[in-house]
């Protein structure tokens, strides 16, 4: 977006390597090899700096740690309990010396005395871990039958994740954003020759008809996009919006034509499973592309590989699950908020996998969670498998009607997609991001464009949310000026500007100016709305608050009653 996105680690996995001799030639050569497995390799000579780096990672990160024998006694007890630390390797001169010491630490995968052995073991282990630790970001829709507004507030993240997808796909891609994405990836992969070649090839050769092929390839695009979806890195998603749109269009063109049952095996944290157990009968939105298979037995065998990896680290924080999903194309065809799904074998880098891909944002009903003893006949090492059964849903589901009604209202207003995106970012509380995005958008409007009023209004909201009240007032005054110049009879937008200024004046403690602004808004709204309009209720409430702060309780009560009578 307008400010450079931090290249940092664009992927989920990192290698953190602690060794007093980390910068000798042999270790530097090993680091180069390791970057072909996990791109982000960060080195430390000092254990204090190392521990600081580990503790400032997030629980969504996945850290592979290499520690020299010299420092292992000190740091392993401190980092072993952290959920983001998934594996530890000791590089030392005397293997037997450390074997007994590390027996109680099940995340210690190997003790190596040769660098080639170390690199080989990490490469081998990472293949299983990266497949099975494909985290599934989701939101749950909780119904509040008594209050539509409360229901929407309760499901804010569910709603915003859906809106974000659609707004991003409606913002027209441009060459400037593509160049920013390529520059960002080149910076991130500058020390990784293989991935840098992939980035350059993407820059030269990518076309919309190859979107799914690129996404299913073992390269940077899949890893970077999936992490951005999982952690809701909107800056990265914004830059990838054309790829997201292209995948959506390919899925539409290849949309499955008959009912199918598909499967997905993966590890889930106990915390995620607990959330799902409490949500049987509810709706869940998958906030990433959802990869599944038509072949149940193959999926179970795949899951067995994950079980082996999980038993190897004896980590009780995760459990293996099998998703069993029923999907009817009629649901997609009758859904105004279309989320397609298709067999992508003809597009995929791995056509033999019978892969069915669901568009990100697909909504499912969680039908049941249970154990399935019969799976042991397929996988001898699996005594039981936890089955999560789901059904693809559409916007005709009774409990989802409120959600889709709000979404349709959101898009029914005559606003540009750029402004819709800024408005959505504010709703999501992403104020710094909104400011950067809107500042960039300023250059896309002519000086006499009426839409500038909306942009200035959003800038005023952002400044106010950040307690920059004088700046907020300046933006709202600019918005007011544009509204008056564009159409002096536009009582609603002019009234909104006065109302916004009143809110800021109140926050500044300037109650007289606030009251004058609210009264000006009332006069304008009375010319545009009937007396029982919701906007009038909000204004009366604002005026009532001012009188209450001025200890004029009779006046406050009068306006509060007028507001409540409308609500």
Domains of the chain: 13-128 (3.40.50.2300), 171-252 (no CATH), 258-403 (3.90.176.10), 414-528 (1.25.40.10)
With CA atoms as reference, report the closest residue to 415 among 441, 445, 451: 451
Is-contact 560 540, C-beta < 8 A? Answer: yes
> What pTM value is reported for the model?
0.87
31: buried, middle or exposed (CB in 10 Å: 19+, 13-18, 0-12)? buried
Residue 493 pLDDT: 86
Is-contact 239 177, C-beta < 8 A? Answer: yes
Is-contact 238 1, C-beta < 8 A? Answer: yes
With CA atoms as reference, report the closest residue to 226 among 123, 126, 360: 360
Q: Label the pairing between strands 341-343 and 355-358.
A: antiparallel
Strand ranges across the sheet with 40-44 = 40-44, 13-18, 62-68, 85-91, 108-112
Strand ranges (DSSP E) for 478-545? none
- Which residues have C-beta within 8 Å of that of residue 334, sequence separation ≥ 6? 394, 396
3-state helix, strand, coil in the chain (%, to 5): 55, 15, 30
- Which residues have C-beta within 8 Å of that of residue 205, sequence separation ≥ 6? none
Distance CA 110, CA 445 (A): 59
Is-contact 362 283, C-beta < 8 A? Answer: no
Distance CA 100, CA 117 (A): 20
- Return the sign of the alpha-carbon dihedral for residues 218, 220, 221, 223: positive
Q: How many CB atoms lie within 10 A of CB 358?
A: 25
Give the pLDDT of the chain (567 residues) as one tens digit per residue.
434 444 579 999 999 999 999 999 999 999 999 999 999 999 999 999 999 999 999 888 999 999 999 999 999 999 999 989 999 999 999 898 888 878 889 899 999 999 999 999 999 888 777 765 667 889 998 765 555 554 555 577 888 888 899 889 988 888 999 999 999 999 999 999 999 999 999 999 999 999 999 999 989 999 999 999 998 899 999 999 999 999 999 999 999 999 999 999 888 878 889 999 999 999 999 999 999 999 998 888 777 665 444 544 445 667 888 999 999 998 887 766 679 999 999 987 777 778 999 999 999 999 999 987 665 555 554 556 789 999 998 766 777 777 777 766 766 565 667 788 998 899 888 998 999 889 888 888 888 888 899 999 999 999 999 999 999 999 999 999 999 988 777 788 899 999 999 999 999 999 999 999 999 999 998 887 766 778 888 999 999 999 999 999 999 999 999 889 886
- Return the sign of the alpha-carbon dihedral for residues 465, 467, 473, 474: negative
76: buried, middle or exposed (CB in 10 Å: 19+, 13-18, 0-12)? buried
Distance CA 351, CA 365 (A): 29
**What does the block give as tokens for 380?**
């001898």
Measured N-to-C along each axis, helices 175-188 and 193-205 cross at an angle, to the nearest 10 degrees, of 170
Residues 294, 297, 301, 306, Cα dihedral to 10°: 60
Is-contact 457 497, C-beta < 8 A? Answer: yes
Measured N-to-C along each axis, helices 241-253 and 220-231 cross at an angle, to the nearest 10 degrees, of 100
With CA atoms as reference, report the closest residue to 419 among 448, 463, 458, 461: 458
Residue 309 pLDDT: 46
166: helix, coil or strand?
Answer: helix
Residue 131 pLDDT: 64
Is-contact 280 367, C-beta < 8 A? Answer: yes
Residue 192 pLDDT: 94
Residue 314 pLDDT: 45
Is-contact 258 343, C-beta < 8 A? Answer: no
Residue 397 pLDDT: 74
**Residue whose structure tokens are 């891609």:** 173
Is-contact 521 499, C-beta < 8 A? Answer: yes
Residue 382 pLDDT: 53
User: Chain-centre distance of CA 371, in angstroms?
Assistant: 30
Distance CA 360, CA 340 (A): 9
């Amino acid at each position: 977006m307008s400010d450079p996105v931090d290249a940092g680690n664009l992927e989920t996995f990192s290698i953190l390597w602690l060794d007093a001799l980390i910068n000798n030639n042999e270790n530097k050569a090993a680091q180069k090899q390791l970057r072909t497995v996990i791109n982000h390799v960060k080195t430390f000579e000092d254990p204090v700096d190392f521990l600081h780096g580990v503790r400032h990672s997030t629980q969504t990160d996945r850290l592979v740690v290499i520690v020299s024998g010299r420092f292992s006694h000190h740091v392993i007890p401190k980092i072993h309990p952290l959920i983001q630390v998934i594996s530890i390797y000791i590089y030392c001169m005397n293997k037997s010396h450390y074997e007994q010491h590390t027996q109680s630490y099940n995340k210690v995968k190997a003790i190596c005395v040769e660098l080639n052995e170390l690199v080989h073991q990490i490469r081998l282990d990472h293949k299983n871990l990266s497949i099975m630790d494909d985290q599934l970001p989701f939101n749950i829709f909780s119904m509040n039958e008594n209050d539509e507004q409360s229901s929407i507030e309760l499901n804010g993240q569910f709603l915003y994740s859906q809106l974000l997808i659609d707004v991003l796909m409606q913002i027209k891609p441009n060459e400037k954003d593509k160049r920013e994405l390529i520059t960002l990836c080149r910076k991130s992969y500058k020390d990784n020759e293989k991935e840098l070649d992939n980035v350059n090839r993407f820059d030269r050769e990518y076309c919309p008809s190859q979107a799914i092929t690129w996404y299913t390839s073992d390269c940077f695009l899949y890893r970077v996009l999936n992490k951005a979806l999982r952690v809701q890195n909107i800056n990265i998603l914004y830059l990838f919006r054309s790829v997201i749109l292209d995948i959506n269009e390919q899925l539409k063109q290849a949309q499955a034509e008959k009912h199918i049952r598909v499967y997905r095996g993966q590890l889930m944290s106990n915390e995620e499973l607990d959330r799902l157990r409490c949500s049987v009968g509810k709706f869940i939105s998958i906030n990433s592309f959802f990869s599944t298979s038509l072949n149940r037995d193959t999926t179970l065998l795949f899951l067995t590989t994950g079980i082996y990896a999980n038993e190897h680290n004896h980590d009780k924080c995760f459990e293996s699950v099998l998703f069993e999903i029923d999907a009817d194309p009629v649901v997609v065809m009758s859904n105004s908020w279309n989320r397609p799904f298709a067999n992508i074998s003809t597009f995929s880098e791995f056509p033999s996998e019978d892969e069915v891909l669901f568009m990100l944002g697909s909504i499912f009903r969680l039908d049941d969670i249970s154990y399935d003893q019969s799976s042991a006949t397929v996988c001898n090492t699996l005594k039981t498998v936890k089955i999560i059964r789901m059904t693809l849903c559409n916007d005709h589901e009774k409990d989802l009607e409120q959600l889709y009604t709000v979404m349709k209202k959101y898009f029914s207003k005559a606003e540009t997609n750029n402004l819709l995106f800024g408005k959505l970012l504010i709703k999501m509380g992403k104020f710094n991001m909104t400011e950067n995005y809107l500042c960039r958008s300023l250059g896309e409007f002519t000086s006499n464009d009426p839409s500038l009023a909306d942009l200035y209004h959003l800038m005023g909201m952002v400044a106010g949310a950040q307690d920059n009240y004088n700046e907020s007032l300046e933006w709202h005054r600019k918005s007011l000026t544009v509204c008056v110049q564009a159409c002096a009879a536009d009582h609603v937008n002019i009234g909104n500007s006065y109302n916004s200024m009143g809110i800021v004046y109140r926050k500044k403690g300037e109650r007289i100016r606030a009251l004058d602004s609210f009264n000006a808004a009332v006069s304008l709204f009375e010319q545009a709305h009937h007396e029982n309009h919701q906007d009038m209720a909000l204004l009366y409430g604002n005026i009532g608050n001012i009188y209450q702060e001025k200890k004029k309780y009779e006046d406050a009560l009068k306006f509060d009653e007028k507001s409540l009578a409308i609500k």
